[in-house]
Amino acid sequence: MKLSVLTENTAGAYFLAEHGLSYFIEYANKKILFDTGATDVFIKNAEKLNINLEDVDLIVLSHGHWDHGNGLEFIKNKTLVSHPNSFIKRFRKGEKKNIGLKLSKTEINNKFSLITSKKPYFLTDNIIFLGEIPRLNDFESQATSFVKENGEDDFVKDDSALAIIQDKELIIVSACSHSGICNIVEYGKKITGINSVKAVIGGFHLKKQDNHTKKTIEYFKKNKVQRLLPSHCTQLPALAMFYDEFKIEHVKTGMIFNF
């Protein structure tokens, strides 16, 4: 499997960056665009990598936040897979600016062949969109800084990820992990029946050197995950703890990872 970083918070040499995430995944004769970032940065970086986005077989939207899906404005005529709740208006508590998608669900339907699923959806026999992630542990997704348009707390139930099967092992590709990166990995294991996790890449949504980060590190050590690549919404204090434990790489735009 080959994963090219099209959008990230940190710029690699000669590449653009923004607060957002977009990966181009090539595996088993499929080309998948996982999120599109906030602008057309993913397109400009794809051009620098000689990636033709016209060749994309389908797009996966991990959840309905602006920094993962507003780039959808700059691409069309593809199959788009996401959770059905990805298209609601949502806000930070105490603020009035919509942090959901710029495009409405009607506009999305007009631009794409839309598939929505709360349940796991098999893109291929070996690539699974996990749908809605059960939140089962006692340290992830315990609080939220977001609200829905109706004022209810928004725990971003649409937050999802990919589970990719390779040589009887799992590669987990997350985006922002509002549902909890450990919950995501556990669900990937449950859906596939595979317990060996080769790699986890993406946003882990960890901010501090706190109990949440500590327990996440303990989980990865217990599960003997071979390669960890936290990025995007994983902030520096947490990244420092991961570096101390795992000697992680710093994920930047333009980087290519082979698994």
pLDDT of residue 77: 96
Yes or no: say if 58 and 79 are a contact pair by the CB < 8 Å rule: yes
**Distance of alpha carbon 41 from alpha carbon 30, whole angstroms:** 22
pLDDT of residue 108: 98
Q: Looking at 35-139, which runs of residues are DSSP E strands? A: 58-60, 79-82, 90-92, 113-116, 121-122, 127-129
pLDDT of residue 95: 94
What number of other Cβ atoms are within 10 A of residue 53's Cβ? 18
Structure tokens at 41: 């940065």
| Full residue range of the structural domain in which residue 74 is found | 2-258
Residues 6+ apart with CB under 8 A from 47: none
Residue 121, Ramachandran bin (φ over 0: left; ψ between -120 and 50: alpha; else beta)? beta
pLDDT of residue 163: 98
CATH number of the domain within which 219 lies? 3.60.15.10
pLDDT of residue 19: 98
Structure tokens at 33: 């665009």
**Residue whose token pair is 């940190």:** 10
**Distance of alpha carbon 84 from alpha carbon 144, whole angstroms:** 20
Q: What is the pTM of this model?
A: 0.97
**Distance of alpha carbon 61 from alpha carbon 80, whole angstroms:** 7
Within the chain, what is the greatest distance between any pair of CA atoms?
47
pLDDT of residue 31: 98
Q: Low-confidence residues of the chain, pLDDT below 70? A: none
**Distance of alpha carbon 89 from alpha carbon 34, whole angstroms:** 21
Domains identified in the chain, total number = 1
The predicted-structure confidence for 175-202, as pLDDT tens digits, reads as follows 999 999 999 999 999 999 999 999 999 9
pLDDT of residue 200: 98
pLDDT of residue 129: 98
